[in-house]
Amino acid sequence: MLNSKRKPLIKKRPPYFWWILAHALAICFATISWILSLSIFNNPQIPSNYRILDRIGLAPKPLAFEILEVPAGETLSPDEIYKKFSWMMEEKHQKALTEMNTSLRRAYIENYTEKKPIYIDGSYAVMQVRPLTKSDLFHPGVAVRLQALLKHSGNTDQVGSYPVIVEYMIPCAEKAAFSWFKPGDRIPISQIPHCASIVNVGHLGSVKEPIVNLTVIPIARGGLNIGTNTINTMTPENINLATHFPLFRNGKE
């Protein structure tokens, strides 16, 4: 009975109805596809977008620059790092911190074509070390947890720890590199030749006594001297933007 009532309605539709409907659906589909494609290409720092771009061979890849071709940028010492980032510890600033970290990672994978890098320098002491794995931002390589050191005022010989922790991610092929770092070893870092650029800012400690926790990556190709050994940094491989920071959770791997 119901079908018999529908047949006259179908017969009354003009012959071009299905043609118009098909074209309308095609236009809607094309518009949605264009918007989604634009969103994916404009936001490669989003892990799901990056995976799609990587599958079709269009994902931006971070490079290891020649030392004379490294992008110019700001350089921060431990006390400048603390002043620049410690205020973001409070809950009300978490959105700004998240947006900044997203921007830092996008700038890194796009090789700082639009945003300048932020480098670190200073003296640091080794706390922990581990090899990088597939769950990290890239692998192979080594991650070194460092404590910032500052000289005591009025004394040029003694140094003390400073509330800045640095996670130094080094892309390299040397499997034994993580054994070259020993707790307590002092590592001097300077803009040239290390070119250690910030890719993530986090916080440890409390709101009253914040500890800034940075993750940095050397973006220059070349050798890092660790005692009698040399780590030959390389272009990072196996990019995984779904990784989590910090690299050392609560002081552990």
Q: What is the mean pLDDT of each run of 10 residues along the chain (253 residues)?
A: 51 63 66 59 82 88 92 95 92 92 95 95 94 95 94 61 94 88 91 93 86 95 79 91 87 50
Domain boundaries, the chain: 2-42, 67-233
Residue found under tokens 């290409």: 41
CB-neighbour burial class of residue 249 (10 A; exposed 0-12, middle 13-18, buried 19+): exposed
Write down the pLDDT at residue 3. 54
Whether 178 and 248 have beta carbons less than 8 Å apart is answered as no
Helix H, strand E, coil C: the string for 43-80 is CCCCHHHHHHHHHCCCCCCCCCECHHHCCCCEEECHHH
- Cβ atoms of residues 70 and 119 within 8 Å: no
Q: Quote the pLDDT of residue 43.
A: 82
Q: What is the pLDDT of residue 125?
A: 95
Per-residue pLDDT, 5: 52
Indicate the pairing of strand 118-120 with strand 74-76: parallel
Strand partners, 145: 128, 167
Enter the pTM of the model: 0.82
